[in-house]
Amino acid sequence: MAEPNFAWIYLVIFLAIPLARIIPRILKKRGIGQNFSQPPPQNDFQSGFTENKLNVTETQEIDSSKPQSKNDLVLGALNRGSKTFESIQKNTGLDSQELDSILEDLEKNGLLKVIQKQGILGPKTELYPTDKGFKQYYS
């Protein structure tokens, strides 16, 4: 009696399914097939006008929520989860001397607490906003 050959099952599981997920990503990255997936734009004047009106109001709200000073910019980075000097510097775009003076000022005012931790590669310094710093940024 001959045993059935089920090798095709392995081919389907280990090749076809991953390829079905990878091929659309590759096509999307290269820009092939974009015209088919996007709906055609509507030429309706009224809907375009309301969309533009919404975009203007959204940008006005974003502009009003921007930090007013560099201290607020650093507090915002701290409240969004930046813990190290390098990540705060990367997120704010400030140079190291200016950022160092701002962090010292925030620490003196009680808006920031500095915690020294022992890491695998040696000691590391983490910066956290205090409750006072959190309230000042969001008020």
All domains of the chain in start order, with CATH: 8-35 (no CATH), 70-138 (1.10.10.10)
- Of residues 3 and 14, which shows the higher confidence score? 14
pLDDT for the residue 87: 92
Q: Which pLDDT band, with edges at 50, 70 and 90, does 63 fall under?
A: very low
pLDDT for the residue 28: 81
The share of the chain scoring above pLDDT 90, in percent, equals 27
Q: What is the mean pLDDT of residues 80-84?
A: 90
Query: Has residue 32 got a pLDDT over 80?
Result: no
What whole-number distance in Å separates Cα of residue 124 and Cα of residue 17?
Answer: 45
